[in-house]
Amino acid sequence: MENPQPPLILQWLPVPLETLVLASHSPRRAEILRQAGIPFVIRVALVDEDPHPGERPEDYVVRLAERKAMAVDAAPEEIVLGADTTVVVAGVMLGKPASPAEARHMLARLSGRRHHVLTGICLRLGGQVVRDWAATHVWFSAMSRREIREYAASGEPLDKAGAYAIQGLASRYVERIEGCYFNVVGLPVALVYHHLQVLKKQAGEP
């Protein structure tokens, strides 16, 4: 189980340009930014996360990232980051399971197969908007029915896209990955940092 989430900073507070506004309540994205030494505050606005009929996974995550980034208040000099992650197996998107039973169903689909983790990001600074996405390929080992049942019952899958946390108990089932590890956790931090640097240079920061 994860540690209790820190309280969210929901009020509107202007911050220096070197500080990022994270439009997400995900404790994992916040921890990735902290580990990378990127200062930030959190402001969150709820958005509808239902996919559109026939929507491609990469379009879906980028659209939601942009909606999140646009939904929060920000001063013209602030950089806002929105992000969204989904898991895709055999062309089917897996969101966050609503119950242990749904988690078991998702884990059974992932067992012994390769799947893809996609994260869309959107950064906005004033009228400038940058959209991008990253994909990581993940290979799961075969899980027994007992392993699926016990992992689903642990509670760890319930707030995770695809019903697992690569940084947690599920790490024992990940045989290998191709791409960014942090993307699987919830944020492709190197991609975010690249776009942050470009935006700051365009804004005239040294």
For the chain, domain boundaries: 20-202
Residues forming the active site: 84
Cross-strand pairs, 178: 137
What is the structure's pLDDT at 205? 63
What is the structure's pLDDT at 200? 85
What is the structure's pLDDT at 4? 44
Cross-strand pairs, 110: none
In this prediction, residues 105-114 reach a mean pLDDT of 98
CA distances from 81 to 21, 73, 127, 138 (A): 6, 12, 14, 25
In this prediction, residues 174-188 reach a mean pLDDT of 98
CA separation for the pair 84, 66 (Å, rounded): 9
Confidence of residue 13 (pLDDT cuts 50, 70, 90): very low
Tally the C-alpha atoms within 13 A of residue 124's C-alpha that lie toward its C-beta.
18
> Would you tell me how many other CB atoms lie within 10 Å of the CB of residue 97?
22
CA separation for the pair 177, 140 (Å, rounded): 9
* Arch. (CATH architecture) of 20-202: Alpha-Beta Complex (3.90)
- Comparing 206 with 47, the larger pLDDT belongs to 47
Q: Report the relative pairing of strands 128-140 and 114-125 from DSSP bridges.
A: antiparallel
Can you read off the two tokens belonging to residue 206? 């040294």
> Would you tell me how many other CB atoms lie within 10 Å of the CB of residue 168?
17
Specify whether the CB–CB gap between 143 and 109 falls below 8 A. no
On the question of pLDDT at 56 being above 80, the answer is: yes
DSSP secondary structure string, 84-108? EEEEEETTEEE---SSHHHHHHHHH
On the question of pLDDT at 11 being above 50, the answer is: no
